[in-house]
Chain A
Amino acid sequence: MITIPYLTALTTYFSYGLLFAFGQFRDFFRKIFDWWRVNNLQGYAPICLGLEDFYTRRLYLRIQDCFGRPIASAPDAWFDVVERYSNDYNKTLKRTKNKSRCLNLGSYNYLGFAASDEYCTPRVIKSLKRFSPSTCSARVDGGTTTLHTELEESVANFVRKPSAIVLGMGYVTNSAILPVLIGKGGLIISDSLNHNSIVNGARGSGATVRVFQHNTPLHLEKVLREQIAEGQPRTHRPWKKIIVIVEGIYSMEGELCKLPEIVAICKKYKAYVYLDEAHSIGAVGKSGRGVCELLGVDTADVDIMMGTFTKSFGSCGGYIAGSKELIQYLKYSCPAHLYATSISPPAAQQIISAIKVILGEDGTSRGAEKLAQIRENSNFFRSELQKMGFEVLGDNDSPVMPIMLYNPAKIPAFSRGCLMQKVAVVTVAFPATPLLLARARICISAAHTKEDLVKALEVISEVGDLVGIKYFPAEPAKLEQQKMIKMD
């Protein structure tokens, strides 16, 4: 639950209103100028209809230097950020040859596999020499190597499901699988804060889409009852299939899903559960098996488990795990499996090796150490930030922590302030988040040491004071009180 100070809400609306009004003025004058200038595109239709690109041109481009920063090294705990400058108020940005070494608080590098790893990298290089960087073919033609079958078995074993299918890209896993699973006459009930890939897949499937209030099982039950009673729109026939889509960890909130209650409700009303574990697989749970293990839900109750390898495994691609019949059906009909190029062999080898390290099958206990490290790091960081007075979202044990900024002017201020002090953070604004609730999202990694986190806390505290985002009263430190008594 997000608590906003009332005055901040008023000032945020006012700032956005001002930015919007300025944007409209500039557009109006731009229209007048363009009417005067000779137009050599007679007869061509405009690329953008109406005010489709208004937000991009008038709001996003003003602070463009805070987004899309190019990096010049592997996204480990410390990395090189390329410096950029602009001569026309951020409309175009030019890269310089200078790099600055910054602390990385933005990459989804939960277990530290993003940089060179002592177990994974030699094996990846060996498979690169043996199999070449790309299979140059779809899975059904010539793109299935021994690595691919080993990977699917290993993923199914890791997630504790009978079988799995692996696709080359995480976003495509959602947007190409949902249209295959459900079509017209079906119902998709998705959480209101689901990722864009799920929204795209749901829209592309042709099924009716309904949304329930974020992480509220009671509202899900209400929507389910209403929809089952009404049936399909206009004909009122019963639905062919109902799928409820939730995510393990929501990437913008850092919250865990209330999985036990949701699974209980879906069992009661006989709806299928689709769990998207993009951020939680490998990062939470005692042995890294995701949110089912953490919350004690039996994996046989979740019908379709989806995840990506980009976050905790340091690779690319996505998987779907389910029953043998489901995966067999997907292999016959999913276009991403039949026509898209299969996952690159070195990437597949990286995933296999990463899973071995996490489970401890490489002979060392590095996997367990990494999992313990990330849990300790996230809990320490979150509690320290909350003590300083920031508004931090997310549950305990979740490595994603958004710090609320709210005002649109604080977004570039916070981002640039932190970059000047060599800490790279990711700030997110509208339309990825609701209009009022702009935030800076911090992703903790197992590769961060305690000194890194302490330095990050100092920098964030200083910049936070300057920008004014400590919305809650800070807890006074006990040491300071003792010092004051001593001075008296």
Chain B
Amino acid sequence: MYVRAVPPTDLNRNTEWFTYPGVWTTYILIVFFSWLVVLSVFNCSPGMAWTIVHLSHFLVTYHCFHWKKGTPFADDQGIYNRLTWWEQIDNGKQLTRNRKFLTVVPVVLYLIASHTTDYQHPMLFLNTVAVFVLVVAKFPHMHKVRLFGINADL
């Protein structure tokens, strides 16, 4: 019923909330509930609903984790202005538990989406592109890499 919240040693207020208990569960629950909402609103098959959830999850997480840079408050005087949220999390350390979890979630969603649509074209193509982009963006080698100058600083 009760969980302990130990204050982490992360000074970056933008990412330290991810180390508290309950985040992973909330993330999974939000994805599941959005699938239910899509099913009820669009009246489509469960497979299409999973594809829609997967693609919108791709858009939202790409925008929030890999596109937006900096922090939403001015307290830290802009020391993280060149880093996206993914590069800030866990102080830049690679292959931590949080990062592994966030890499696994899009892959699992992809598997569910492609299984429930019976691997049909064109959904399979879109889903594959989405999961490919997301997983490559989360590789340790891509830390602070800006391909072709996309999203590079001024």
A residues engaging B (CB < 8 A)?
1-6, 9-10, 13-14, 16-17, 48-56, 192-193, 196, 199, 203, 211-214, 219, 430-431, 434-437
Given contacts A17-B30, A50-B69, A431-B73, contact A2 B4 (CB under 8 A): yes
Find chain A residues with CB under 8 A from B41 CB.
Answer: none
B147 interface contact, C-beta 8 A: no
Q: Is the CB of A5 within 8 A of B20?
A: no
Our pick among A10, A52, A55, A193 for the contact of B7 (Cβ within 8 Å) is A193
Q: Which residue of B lies closest to A194 (CB)?
A: B11
Find chain A residues with CB under 8 A from B8 CB.
Answer: 192, 213
Find chain A residues with CB under 8 A from B69 CB.
Answer: 50
Instruction: Tell me, rounded to whole Å, the shortest Cβ–Cβ distance linking B154 to chain A.
Output: 9
Q: Is the CB of A434 within 8 A of B17?
A: yes
- Separation of A434 and B78 alpha carbons in the complex (Å): 19
A/B interface sample: 17 pairs, CB < 8 A: A1-B5, A5-B2, A6-B2, A6-B3, A6-B22, A13-B22, A14-B26, A48-B74, A50-B70, A52-B74, A53-B73, A53-B74, A192-B8, A211-B11, A213-B6, A213-B8, A430-B13
Q: Which of B1-36 contact A (CB under 8 A)?
A: 1-9, 11, 13, 16-17, 20-23, 25-26, 29-30
Main secondary structure of the interface of A (DSSP, over half): mixed
Q: Is the CB of B13 within 8 A of A431?
A: yes
Q: Is the CB of B9 within 8 A of A212?
A: yes
Given contacts A49-B81, A192-B11, A431-B75, contact A1 B6 (CB under 8 A): yes
Given contacts A51-B68, A52-B72, contact A213 B2 (CB under 8 A): no
Find chain A residues with CB under 8 A from B3 CB.
Answer: 3-6, 9
Q: Is the CB of B2 within 8 A of A4?
A: yes
Q: Which residue of A lies closest to B8 (CB)?
A: A192
- Separation of A138 and B1 alpha carbons in the complex (Å): 58
Q: Which residue of B lies closest to A253 (CB)?
A: B7
Our pick among A50, A53, A211, A435 for the contact of B17 (Cβ within 8 Å) is A435
Top 3 A-B pairs, shortest CB-CB distance: A9-B22, A435-B17, A54-B72
Our pick among A10, A56, A214, A435 for the contact of B25 (Cβ within 8 Å) is A10
- Separation of A49 and B71 alpha carbons in the complex (Å): 10
Instruction: Tell me, rounded to whole Å, the shortest Cβ–Cβ distance linking A76 to chain B.
Output: 32
Instruction: Tell me, rounded to whole Å, the shortest Cβ–Cβ distance linking B31 to chain A.
Output: 12
Find chain A residues with CB under 8 A from B6 CB.
Answer: 1, 213
Q: Which residue of B lies closest to A391 (CB)?
A: B2
Given contacts A192-B7, A192-B9, A434-B16, contact A10 B26 (CB under 8 A): yes
Instruction: Tell me, rounded to whole Å, the shortest Cβ–Cβ distance linking A408 to chain B.
Output: 12
Our pick among B9, B20, B23 for the contact of A211 (Cβ within 8 Å) is B9
**Of listed B16, B22, B26, residue having the most chain A CB within 10 A:** B22
Instruction: Tell me, rounded to whole Å, the shortest Cβ–Cβ distance linking A219 to chain B.
Output: 8
B residues engaging A (CB < 8 A)?
1-9, 11, 13, 16-17, 20-23, 25-26, 29-30, 68-75, 77-78, 81
Given contacts A5-B2, A213-B6, contact A10 B29 (CB under 8 A): yes
Q: Is the CB of B26 within 8 A of A13?
A: yes
- Separation of A430 and B71 alpha carbons in the complex (Å): 13
Instruction: Tell me, rounded to whole Å, the shortest Cβ–Cβ distance linking B20 to chain A.
Output: 5
Find chain B residues with CB under 8 A from A203 CB.
Answer: 77
Find chain B residues with CB under 8 A from A3 CB.
Answer: 2-5
Find chain A residues with CB under 8 A from B21 CB.
Answer: 4, 6, 9
Instruction: Tell me, rounded to whole Å, the shortest Cβ–Cβ distance linking B100 to chain A.
Output: 20
Given contacts A3-B5, A5-B1, contact A436 B78 (CB under 8 A): no
Instruction: Tell me, rounded to whole Å, the shortest Cβ–Cβ distance linking A10 to chain B.
Output: 5
Q: Is the CB of B22 within 8 A of A10?
A: yes
Instruction: Tell me, rounded to whole Å, the shortest Cβ–Cβ distance linking B17 to chain A.
Output: 4
Our pick among B1, B11, B29, B71 for the contact of A52 (Cβ within 8 Å) is B71
Find chain B residues with CB under 8 A from A434 CB.
Answer: 5, 7, 13, 16-17, 20
- Separation of A192 and B73 alpha carbons in the complex (Å): 19
Q: Which residue of A lies closest to B77 (CB)?
A: A203
Find chain B residues with CB under 8 A from A56 CB.
Answer: 73-74
Q: Which residue of A lies closest to B29 (CB)?
A: A10
Q: Which residue of B lies closest to A12 (CB)?
A: B22
- Separation of A435 and B15 alpha carbons in the complex (Å): 10
Find chain A residues with CB under 8 A from B74 CB.
Answer: 48, 52-53, 56
**Of listed A52, A56, A193, residue having the most chain B CB within 10 A:** A52
Find chain B residues with CB under 8 A from A16 CB.
Answer: 17
Q: Is the CB of B26 within 8 A of A49?
A: no
Find chain B residues with CB under 8 A from A10 CB.
Answer: 22, 25-26, 29
- Separation of A486 and B126 alpha carbons in the complex (Å): 73
Instruction: Tell me, rounded to whole Å, the shortest Cβ–Cβ distance linking A29 to chain B.
Output: 16
Q: Is the CB of B73 within 8 A of A52?
A: yes
Instruction: Tell me, rounded to whole Å, the shortest Cβ–Cβ distance linking B87 to chain A.
Output: 15
Q: Which residue of B lies closest to A436 (CB)?
A: B20
Find chain B residues with CB under 8 A from A193 CB.
Answer: 7
Instruction: Tell me, rounded to whole Å, the shortest Cβ–Cβ distance linking A457 to chain B.
Output: 24
- Separation of A55 and B74 alpha carbons in the complex (Å): 9
Find chain B residues with CB under 8 A from A54 CB.
Answer: 72-73
Q: Which residue of B lies closest to A471 (CB)?
A: B2
Our pick among A49, A55, A436 for the contact of B73 (Cβ within 8 Å) is A55
- Separation of A14 and B26 alpha carbons in the complex (Å): 7
Q: Which residue of B lies closest to A209 (CB)?
A: B11
- Separation of A209 and B21 alpha carbons in the complex (Å): 27
Q: Which residue of A lies closest to B19 (CB)?
A: A434
- Separation of A40 and B16 alpha carbons in the complex (Å): 40
**Of listed B9, B29, B72, residue having the most chain A CB within 10 A:** B72
Q: Is the CB of A435 within 8 A of B81?
A: no
Find chain B residues with CB under 8 A from A212 CB.
Answer: 9
